[in-house]
């Protein structure tokens, strides 16, 4: 196709034509809204680096989720800020733990809203790592047992789906087996299959009060330089029974989203993480970018890269903008 026979501007020059040939679409059905469930009552504490995002106690999380639900957002994903933390993250598996109670309240008040839970230990351990520590590093196989218990406690409370984010080897298989053995073979697992050791999680660690107290997460989260390893990680999770594959973070890893989309025949999710959100909010507050425009461009980029689902703190804003169009 060469000029002058081909002129891209013939079609591009007309808004109706642009609409007709648009290759990618974004729907409110694609959105998953992350929320922080805090132990206690009367809590509605904004996260300083994430304007508009709050730590919420149960009654407030229901109100916030109701708003998302009324905007047409189909699902939320919950993180917990527990009453106490210890070396083994025992507050992650309590029958009446913070996430378990939030799940119960949400399913009671908003039965049509899908409730997904993040399954990891870092929000519940006093050292902030994603598993139990032995000899200065996370003990993989000992952690699998705790993750299975945690996932089971979420599902017993009524969670519709669990999403393990710990990056231990074998966790999808371990959790799948625990769920199946206890009568929950119908509950799907969304795996944080390809999760990189990323600086973009900074604001989240303030939000979830989960920053590691020593070292970093490089012995379990992936090296940002690796692409082939992403396929190995995802393949392992597919073999172990994952139902949805997630890539995280989002914007710096669109190439990986495309790889996973091309390689596997499962729904693909992408996590537009806290640092990505904070950067947009900060630039918008300074008047340096047009927030609505940048947010919608980011969302369509995820879809174009091959994502089916988008976990994003912008979910309510995106739903409002979609309704306006």
**Which residues contact ligand PBG (rule: CB under 6 A)?**
118, 120, 122, 130, 165, 201, 204-205, 217, 273-274
- If you write DSSP's letter for every residue of 1-69 in order, what string do you get? --TTT--THHHHT-HHHHHHH------GGGEEEEEEEESSSS-EEEETTEEEEEEE-HHHHHHHHHHHH
Handedness of CA 35, 40, 46, 49 (dihedral sign): negative
Stretch that binds Zn ion, among 73-81, 95-103, 115-123, 282-290 (CB under 5 A): 115-123
From the CB of 217, what's the least distance to ligand PBG, in Å? 6
- Taking the CA of residue 256 as centre, how many other CA atoms within 13 Å lie in the half-sphere pointing to its CB? 29
Residue 268 binds Zn ion, judged by CB under 5 A: no
From the CB of 117, what's the least distance to ligand PBG, in Å? 11
Q: Report how far residue 169's alpha carbon sits from residue 196's, in angstroms, rounded to the nearest whole number.
A: 14
130 vs 254, which CB is nearer to Zn ion? 130
Taking CB atoms, the residue at the shortest distance from ligand PBG is 204
**Is residue 256 a contact partner of residue 247, using CB atoms and an 8 Å limit?**
yes
Residue 122 binds Zn ion, judged by CB under 5 A: yes
Q: Enter the tokens of residue 34.
A: 């992350």
| Binding partner of 184, given Zn ion, ligand PBG, none, CB within 5-8 angstroms per partner class | none
71 vs 208, which CB is nearer to ligand PBG? 208
Residue 120 binds Zn ion, judged by CB under 5 A: yes
Q: Report how far residue 305's alpha carbon sits from residue 24's, in angstroms, rounded to the nearest whole number.
A: 10
Question: Can 281 be counted among the known catalytic residues?
Answer: no
60 vs 148, which CB is nearer to Zn ion? 148
- Of 45, 85, 248, 316, the catalytic one is 248
From the CB of 227, what's the least distance to ligand PBG, in Å? 20
Question: Can 248 be counted among the known catalytic residues?
Answer: yes
Residue 299 binds Zn ion, judged by CB under 5 A: no
| Residues in Cβ contact with 241 at an 8 Å cutoff, skipping those fewer than 6 apart | 172, 173, 176, 189
H or E stretch covering 48: none
Q: Report how far residue 233's alpha carbon sits from residue 222's, in angstroms, rounded to the nearest whole number.
A: 9
DSSP state of 69: H
SS3 call for 258? helix
Look-up of token digits 């929320």: 35
Binding residues for Zn ion, total number by CB under 5 A: 3
| Binding partner of 118, given Zn ion, ligand PBG, none, CB within 5-8 angstroms per partner class | ligand PBG
| Binding partner of 222, given Zn ion, ligand PBG, none, CB within 5-8 angstroms per partner class | none
122 vs 157, which CB is nearer to ligand PBG? 122
From the CB of 207, what's the least distance to ligand PBG, in Å? 8
Handedness of CA 71, 113, 51, 24 (dihedral sign): negative
- Of 195, 281, 303, 316, the catalytic one is 195
Please return the burial class of 100, using the count of CB atoms within 10 Å of its CB with bins 0-12, 13-18 and 19+.
buried
Residue 130 binds Zn ion, judged by CB under 5 A: yes
From the CB of 121, what's the least distance to Zn ion, in Å? 6
Look-up of token digits 């904004």: 46
Stretch that binds Zn ion, among 66-74, 94-102, 126-134, 255-263 (CB under 5 A): 126-134
From the CB of 137, what's the least distance to Zn ion, in Å? 14
H or E stretch covering 117: strand 114-119
Q: Report how far residue 132's alpha carbon sits from residue 93's, in angstroms, rounded to the nearest whole number.
A: 14
Catalytic positions are: 195, 248
Catalog residues that contact Zn ion under the rule CB under 5 A: 120, 122, 130
């Amino acid at each position: 196709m060469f000029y002058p026979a081909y002129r891209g501007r013939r079609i591009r020059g007309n808004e109706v034509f642009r609409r007709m040939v648009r290759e990618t679409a974004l729907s409110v059905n694609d959105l998953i809204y992350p929320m922080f469930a805090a132990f206690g009552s009367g809590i509605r504490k904004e996260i300083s680096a994430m304007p508009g995002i709050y730590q919420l106690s149960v009654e407030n999380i229901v109100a916030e989720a109701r708003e998302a639900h009324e905007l047409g957002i189909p699902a939320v994903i919950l993180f917990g800020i527990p009453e106490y933390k210890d070396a083994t993250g025992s507050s992650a598996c309590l029958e009446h733990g913070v996430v378990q109670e939030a799940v119960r309240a949400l399913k009671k008040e908003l039965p049509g809203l899908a409730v997904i839970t993040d399954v990891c230990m870092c929000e519940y351990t006093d050292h902030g790592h994603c598993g139990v520590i032995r000899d200065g590093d996370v003990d993989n196989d000992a952690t699998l047992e705790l993750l299975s218990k945690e996932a089971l406690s979420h599902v017993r409370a009524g969670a519709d789906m669990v999403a393990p984010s710990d990056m231990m080897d074998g966790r999808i298989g371990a959790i799948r087996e625990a769920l199946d053995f206890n009568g929950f073979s119908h509950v799907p697992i969304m795996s944080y299959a390809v999760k990189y050791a990323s600086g973009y999680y900074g604001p989240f660690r303030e939000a979830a009060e989960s920053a590691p107290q020593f070292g970093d997460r490089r012995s379990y989260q992936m090296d940002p330089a690796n692409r082939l390893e992403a396929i190995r990680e995802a393949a392992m999770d597919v073999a172990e029974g994952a139902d949805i594959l997630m890539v995280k973070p989002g914007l710096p890893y669109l190439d990986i989203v495309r790889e996973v989309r091309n390689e596997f025949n499962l729904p693909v999710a992408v996590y537009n993480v806290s640092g990505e959100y904070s950067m947009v909010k900060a630039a918008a507050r300074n008047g340096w970018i047009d927030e609505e425009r940048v947010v919608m461009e980011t969302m369509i980029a995820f879809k174009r890269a091959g994502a089916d689902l988008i976990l994003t703190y912008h979910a309510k804003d995106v739903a409002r903008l979609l309704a306006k169009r």
